[in-house]
Structure 1
Amino acid sequence: MSAARRFPASVFATGEEPDARFSLANERTFLAWIRTGLALLAGGVALEALGLGIHPGFRLTASLLLLVAGLLTPLQAWIGWKATERALRAGTPLPSAPLTLVLTVVVLAVGVLVLLGVVYR
């Protein structure tokens, strides 16, 4: 199959075809990011829908943070997959994931908000 027929062509037109094991590992990483995004979205919905005896202001803020993080995570998955696939094809060092720090801070903030929500209910 030619590079022009594969999506996205901008990735597959670069460099040489890498070992299939590396491309498949990159795909598994993409899917792991997608699962993480789904879990964050589900957590945000569940936190708000179930209530759980948490102060409403803290609960809403934590839910919104989880929902925003859940919406950003697929973006990280796509950008990360493309950048990694290009690096594999070009034989250059693999890039880092730019949103990992943001997601770490968001999950930490949600934990603090839920803790405060329980304490101040």
Structure 2
Amino acid sequence: MNSGAEQEKSPASPSESHVDSSSGEIEPDVRFTYANERTFLAWNRTALALIATGVIVVGVLPKFQIDFGRRVLAIPMILLGAFMSFASLREWNANENAMRHELPLPRSSLPRILTIGIVVVALIAAVLAAFQHGA
């Protein structure tokens, strides 16, 4: 039988919160903070992929029959990537704020925006491909 001094204290429950009395903010469960950060990083990987793909389209793809074809395909990708990066920072901050004030997390508009952007780029690519004569 262990005495009280010999027993290990069980760690605080991960769901326990710590309140900062000066600001009234609650320190959220670290697992949620890390999940929010991982989501932010995932959106930024997507943004970097869009930007890099846009740069590659301009620098590597052969010219389309339409002179400005590569640019018209690349620019929306680069702009979408830049927007996604900026928007992911705003979303990360909004989620952190909601968790610290025990509010519901705001709905994300990023999946919808990304989907619309990809559809637009795909339509542009389809139009350019339709005007491309023999390879």
* TM-score, normalised by the number of residues in structure 2: 0.72
Which structure shows the bigger proportion of residues in helix conformation? 1
Matches within 5 A, 1:4-23: 13=23, 15-23=25-33
- Residue of 61, 73, 89 corresponding to 2:84: 73
Looking at structure 2, the residues matched to 110 and 74 of structure 1 have their Cα atoms a distance apart, in angstroms, of 18
Q: Give the ranges of 4+ consecutive aligned residues of structure 1 lying more than 4 Å apart after TM superposition.
A: none
Instruction: Give the share of equivalent positions with the same residue, in percent.
Output: 33
Looking at structure 2, the residues matched to 116 and 92 of structure 1 have their Cα atoms a distance apart, in angstroms, of 45
The aligned residue for residue 14 of structure 2 is none
- Residue of 8, 18, 37 corresponding to 2:47: 37
The aligned residue for residue 87 of structure 1 is 98
Code of the residue aligned with 1:105 in structure 2: it is I
Looking at structure 2, the residues matched to 96 and 58 of structure 1 have their Cα atoms a distance apart, in angstroms, of 36
Distance 1:53 1:83, change over 3 A: same
Q: What do you get for the CA RMSD once the two structures are aligned? A: 1.7
Deviation per CA, 1:29-88: give whole Å up to 9, x if none.
110111011000011011111124544433311200001011111111110110001111
The aligned residue for residue 47 of structure 1 is 57
Looking at structure 2, the residues matched to 57 and 120 of structure 1 have their Cα atoms a distance apart, in angstroms, of 13
- Secondary structure of residue in 1 paired with 2:68: helix
Gapped regions of structure 1 (runs ≥ 5):
1-12
Distance 1:105 1:14, change over 3 A: farther
